[in-house]
Amino acid sequence: MLDMVDIRNKRWKRAVLMVLWLPSLVWAVGLPARGEIVSRRGLPPRRGLLLSRGVFAPSAGVVWRVSRSSPLVLRKPEVHYHAWARIAAMETGVPERILWGIVQVESGGWPWTLNVDGRPERFSSRAAMLRAARTAVARGTKYLDIGIAQVDWRWNGARFGWSLARAVDPVENLRVAAKLLAKMRHRSGSWLGAIEDYHGGTNWERVNYAQRVVLGDE
pLDDT digits (tens, 9 = 90+) for 84-130: 999 999 999 999 999 999 999 999 999 999 999 999 999 999 999 99
Among the residue ranges 10-24, 30-44, 190-204, the one predicted with the least confidence is 30-44
Give the rounded percent of residues in the chain with a pLDDT score beyond 70.
63
Alpha-carbon distance of 210 to 191, in angstroms, equals 10
Assign 7 a pLDDT band (cuts: 50, 70, 90). very low
Residues 40, 135: one domain? Answer: no
Cα 182–Cα 184–Cα 185 angle in degrees, nearest 5: 65
Residue 36: the pLDDT is 28
Assign 216 a pLDDT band (cuts: 50, 70, 90). confident
Residues 91, 187: one domain? Answer: yes
Q: Is residue 49 part of a domain?
A: yes
CA 57 to chain centre: 9
pLDDT averaged over the chain? 75
Domain residues for 32? 2-65
Residue 217: the pLDDT is 64
Residue 167: the pLDDT is 98
Greatest Cα pair distance, the chain, in angstroms, is 80
Q: Residues 197, 200, 205, 208: is their CA dihedral positive or negative?
A: negative
Residue 188: the pLDDT is 95
| pLDDT of 48 over the 70 cut | no
Read off the CATH number of the domain in which 205 is found.
1.10.530.10
Among the residue ranges 9-18, 47-56, 154-163, the one predicted with the least confidence is 47-56
Residues 26, 124: one domain? Answer: no
Based on the structure, what is the number of domains in the chain? 2
Q: Is residue 71 part of a domain?
A: no
Residues 121, 99: one domain? Answer: yes
Helix (H) or strand (E) holding 113: strand 113-116
Residues 86, 50: one domain? Answer: no
Residues 113, 209: one domain? Answer: yes
Residue 195: the pLDDT is 97
Assign 80 a pLDDT band (cuts: 50, 70, 90). confident
Residues 44, 102: one domain? Answer: no
Residues 197, 107: one domain? Answer: yes
Which pairs count as long-range contacts for 105-108, CB under 8 Å and 24+ apart, including other chains? 105/209, 105/212, 105/213, 105/217, 106/145, 106/148, 106/149, 106/150, 107/147, 107/148, 107/149, 107/150, 108/217
Task: Concatenate the DSSP letters of all residues of 53-73 into one string.
Answer: SEEE-TTT--EEE--SS-S-B
Assign 74 a pLDDT band (cuts: 50, 70, 90). very low
